[in-house]
């Protein structure tokens, strides 16, 4: 048992070193998409993942000393910790441990920004086939520089957003053992007006716009034994377009096929890839230093990003005993307790009905005896 626990810790630690959590999913969900459920009280989830892209660049024209030819990449590292506070409420704290910025003076942030998400969910209806949730996320600018190319726009101010989601489960009792469909929709405020925005050559410019965007996610999961095949479609559309010196001021859309492998009840491993389905041409950014002006590199978001993730879930023994230690899945235990209560009440009702029938039969027998006595008297 000790060797097994040590192996789980080693796997989680290795994943954390080279991980990123896009959008700080946390709680229950996919690489980018939340489920409509929340963690049960007392449960801890440790979620780590890596996304990585690289490309060997060549000069578009004459060589330049300022832009060396070589392998350009985008990589980040992030660890998210989620905790079930009470029924229908959990919280996620995520620290981006490393972010490749591709800035000349500060090529990486160690660490990058801090994220906090409060989620209220598991509001079930239609006999548990559907579950809804609402959540809010705040991004605190703890990194050194922001506004880096090829990644989601980070303004360097305190950003925040509000989201809602709904999930459908074919199997409402064992949700991971049936097909699941999930939809998210939300609004994000970059909150950068009148604040200094970093430019790639170490200069700064004051923002004149408070940019905002709408985000949307759609996901599906299909189980197959210890494997779960997944696919997500996610994207964003700016409702308030940021200033033209923002490197990721483009509308975007990606599709992410992935597979989850669950070798242990407490451990899951995810592997997937983000594939850009939106146009790769630059629509808005201009007038700032840019690698793609000299090298054959993407002008906005990269065409692909590799995704690897690890989920480790812990339910303390004391909490587990509250729901009945013989059942690992607490939701199943709750359902069993509910049905046990129903059966107990049904048995009580049956016993009461039986007593009523006995009394009714005794009354009928007494009426017959009275009738016979009347006949004899007559």
> For residue 330, what pLDDT is reported?
56
Residues 191 and 42 in one domain: yes
d(CA 372, CA 251): 94
- Per run of 10 residues, the mean pLDDT along the chain (length 378 residues) is 44 36 67 94 91 86 63 90 94 93 90 95 92 96 92 93 96 88 96 91 88 96 94 95 89 96 92 93 80 83 93 77 53 63 74 80 76 69
Residue 144: count other Cβ atoms within 10 Å of its Cβ. 17
Nearest partner of 93 among 78, 107, 108, judged by Cα:
78
Write the CATH number for 221.
2.40.160.40
Q: Give the pair of three-digit tokens for residue 61.
A: 């024209």
The residues, any chain, with a CB within 8 Å of residue 360's CB and separated by 6 or more, are none
Residue 296: the pLDDT is 83
Same domain, 30 and 65: yes
Asked if residue 84 and residue 64 are part of one domain, the reply reads yes
62 shares its domain with 158: yes
- DSSP percent split of the chain into helix, strand, coil, nearest 5: 20, 40, 40
Give residue 346's domain range. Answer: 320-378
Query: Is-above-0.75 flag for pTM?
Result: yes
Token pair of 36 as six digits: 């409509």
Predicted local distance difference test score (pLDDT) of residue 283: 77
Query: Which residues neighbour 108 within 8 Å (Cβ) at sequence distance 6 or greater?
Result: 98, 99, 100, 101
User: What's the pLDDT score for residue 285?
Assistant: 82
For 22, the token pair is 């896009």
Residue at a domain's end among 260, 294, 314: 314
- How many Å apart are CA 94 and CA 78, to the nearest integer? 7
Helices (H), 18-68: none
């Amino acid at each position: 048992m000790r060797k097994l626990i040590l192996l789980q810790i080693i796997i989680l630690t290795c994943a954390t070193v080279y991980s990123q959590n896009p959008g700080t999913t946390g709680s229950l969900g996919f690489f980018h998409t939340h489920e409509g459920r929340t963690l049960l009280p007392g449960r801890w989830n440790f979620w780590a993942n890596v996304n990585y892209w690289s490309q060997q660049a060549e000069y578009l024209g004459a060589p330049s000393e300022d832009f060396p030819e070589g392998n350009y990449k985008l990589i980040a590292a992030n660890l998210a910790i989620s905790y079930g506070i009470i029924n229908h409420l959990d919280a996620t704290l995520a620290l981006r441990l490393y972010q490749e910025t591709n800035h000349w003076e500060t090529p990486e942030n160690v660490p990058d920004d801090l994220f906090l998400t409060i989620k209220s969910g598991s509001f079930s209806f239609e006999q548990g086939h559907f579950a809804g949730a609402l959540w809010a996320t705040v991004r605190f600018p703890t990194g050194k520089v922001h506004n880096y190319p090829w990644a989601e726009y980070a303004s360097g101010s305190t950003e925040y957003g509000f989201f809602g989601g709904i999930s459908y489960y074919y199997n409402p009792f064992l949700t991971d053992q049936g097909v699941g469909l999930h939809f998210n929709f939300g609004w994000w405020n970059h909150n950068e007006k009148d604040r200094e925005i970093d430019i790639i050559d170490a200069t700064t410019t004051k923002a004149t716009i408070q940019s905002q965007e709408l985000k949307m996610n759609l996901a599906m999961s299909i189980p197959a034994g210890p494997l779960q095949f997944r696919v997500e479609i996610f994207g964003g559309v700016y409702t308030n377009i940021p200033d033209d010196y923002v490197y990721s001021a483009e509308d975007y859309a990606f599709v992410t096929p992935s597979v989850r492998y669950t070798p242990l009840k407490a451990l899951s491993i995810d592997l997937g890839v983000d594939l850009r389905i939106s146009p790769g041409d630059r629509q808005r950014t201009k007038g700032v230093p840019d690698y793609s002006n000299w090298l054959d590199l993407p002008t906005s978001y990269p065409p692909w990003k590799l995704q690897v993730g690890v989920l480790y879930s812990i339910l303390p023994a004391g909490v587990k005993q509250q729901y009945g230690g013989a059942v690992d899945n607490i939701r199943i235990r709750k359902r069993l307790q509910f049905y046990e209560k129903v059966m107990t009440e049904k048995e009580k009702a049956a016993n009461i009905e039986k007593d009523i029938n006995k009394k009714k039969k005794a009354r009928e027998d007494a009426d017959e005896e009275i009738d016979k006595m009347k006949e004899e008297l007559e």
